[in-house]
Amino acid sequence: MHFSFTHRICAFMLAASLCAGYAQADEYPRQPIRMVVPFAAGGPTDTVARSLSEAMHAALGQIIVVENKGGAGGMIGTNQVAAAKPNGYEILLMNVGFTTAPSLYKKTGYDPEESFEPIGLVVSVPMTIIGRSDLPVNDVGELIDYVKTHEDAMTIAHAGNGSAAHLCSIMFTQAIGVDLLTIPYKGTAPAINDLLGKQVDLLCDQTTNTTQHINTGIVKAYAMTSKQRIPTLPDLPTMQESGYSDFDVGIWHGLWAPKGTPEPALKKLRTALQAALASPRFRQRMAALGATVLAAEATPEALAQKVHQQTAQWTGLFKKVGIEPQ
């Protein structure tokens, strides 16, 4: 078969293009990666991100820079990654709020199931139900009886609409069959400050924010919201132990890349995530926060399933309690 000079040139160019593509895939990552955290620096999600970026750096051999891009309940940073060039150099670490936004806002700018490539789940942080130090009850059974008889006078704080603290407060009031006045704050810190100042009665928030206050005795601790007790608070019973078998809420964190990110880059990111979650240093840091490392769920399939299930769950819950998208 005779090939013209033009055909030979085209074949050469095609082969060179394919080789270049394979070389680029093999070389990824060739520059620092940006891990966007859609919340302010110093918060619990940021804390997870900085430990994770360090552990993934060791696996990838490339620096991962954490960038805090807060605002609009996490939607600003989330949308930044959704719109980023899908080349593996910008990824998102987000928490359960990823799945609540579609139920709270008419226009989020992203679809949790369509706008991203899932990398995998990272950690889950349990929550605690705590009260002001002078509440005249000492365990969760007494608390529930007290709340039911003082429903009109009780308040429960949370860290803003759609936050995990908000979800937990809704689940708590629904579980025990009361309608408490909920007080939204712009973050956990001001909510805890008002609880310490006895301006509000109750708060449900993650162990990363409450453990120190519980251990120093400046708040009263009533229950864990996870299925099991945790080593850092071994004497604190779960809501399930108290008879509420369906009560299970925590702050899970996941890692995503923009839709269309090449599979070779995704594969390396997923492998690096799994290596990071196996790191003893990372595991020790998470244990100190009361967080559970989700090593068995550090897969795109597990994260996609979590997003699908949770999006439906929160949509149903918000409709049930009359929260409409704004």
Q: Is 48 part of a structural domain of the chain?
A: yes
Are 206 and 146 within one domain?
yes
How long, in residues, is the chain? 326
321 backbone dihedrals φ, ψ, rounded to 5°: -95, 5
For residue 267, the domain's CATH number is 3.40.190.150
Q: Is 322 left (phi over 0), alpha (psi -120 to 50) or beta?
A: left
Residues 69 and 96 grouped into a single domain: yes
Q: Is the dihedral of CA 175, 176, 181, 185 positive or negative?
A: negative
How many other CB atoms are there within 10 angstroms of residue 313's CB atom? 15
Encoded tokens for 167: 């979800």
* CA–CA distance, 28 with 90 (Å, rounded to integer): 13
pLDDT at 163: 81
Examine the domain organization and report whether 135 and 218 are in the same domain.
Answer: yes
State whether 220 and 178 are in the same domain: yes
Question: 250-258 and 292-293 as β-strands: parallel, antiparallel, unpaired?
Answer: unpaired
For residue 9, is it within any domain?
Answer: no
- CA 11 to chain CA mean position, Å: 49
Output the domain CATH number for residue 130.
Answer: 3.40.190.10
Q: Please enumerate, as own/partner, the contacts of 48-54 that have beta carbons within 8 Å and a separation of 24 or more.
A: 48/93, 48/122, 48/123, 48/125, 48/253, 48/286, 48/289, 48/291, 49/93, 51/282, 51/285, 51/286, 52/93, 52/122, 52/255, 52/273, 52/276, 52/282, 54/281, 54/282
Give the total number of structural domains in the chain. Answer: 2
- pLDDT by residue for the chain (326 residues), tens only, comes to 454 544 444 444 444 444 444 444 468 999 999 999 998 888 788 999 999 999 999 999 999 999 999 888 789 999 999 999 999 999 999 999 899 888 888 889 999 999 999 999 999 999 999 999 999 999 999 999 999 999 999 999 998 877 888 889 999 999 999 999 999 988 788 899 999 999 999 999 989 889 889 999 999 999 999 888 988 899 999 999 989 988 888 899 999 999 999 999 999 999 999 999 999 999 999 988 888 999 999 999 999 999 999 999 888 888 888 888 87
* Domain identity same for 120 and 172: no
Q: Is the pTM of this model over 0.75?
A: yes
Q: Which two tokens stand for residue 68?
A: 């805090």
- Residue 314 CA: distances (Å) to CA of 48, 103, 300, 307: 24, 7, 21, 11
Q: Are residues 97 and 142 in the same domain?
A: no
Task: Judge whether 170 lies within some domain.
Answer: yes
Two structure tokens written together for 273: 């995530």
Closest CA to 25 of 300, 260, 268, 272: 268
Residue 185 in any domain: the answer is: yes
Structural domain harbouring 85: 31-125+250-320
